[in-house]
Amino acid sequence: MKTLTILIGLCLVFVFVWERVDMVRVGYHIERLKRDKTVLERQRDELRVKVSALSASGRIAKVATEKLGMSLPQQGQVIVVQTKPSGVQPTDVSPAEVKVAKNDLPNGRY
């Protein structure tokens, strides 16, 4: 009986110590994960800023005109028309709106 009590006592001490040690170990693990999370969040934010900068209308217009040789349509060249949806016409064109570039440059060039 005495031996059993001592054994139970030792077990309780062991469990208590093990629990404390494990708490510290988990604490370190949590901190490491928090650091990883912070780094990833920082990278995500950096990338969001980059995406936003790269998708700026001014930059897209610059790339289109300077690198791709595109130009802004002249006045009157873009016409927005409303098309009514029709059940009989097989089409994959959106029924809502269609933008049409009007060809009014000399020699049929766009």
Residues of the shown chain interacting with another protein in the complex, contacts defined by CB under 8 A: 24, 27-28, 30-31, 38, 42, 45-46, 48-53, 55-58, 61, 75-76, 78-82, 89-93, 96-100
49 or 105: CB nearest another protein: 49
DSSP state of 73: P
9 or 65: CB nearest another protein: 65
Q: Work out how close the CB of 51 gets to another protein at its nearest, in angstroms, rounded to a whole number.
A: 8
Q: Work out how close the CB of 107 gets to another protein at its nearest, in angstroms, rounded to a whole number.
A: 19
Determine the Cα angle at 108 with ends 104 and 110, to 5°.
Answer: 70
DSSP per-residue codes, 18-50: HHHHHHHHHHHHHHHHHHHHHHHHHHHHHHHHH
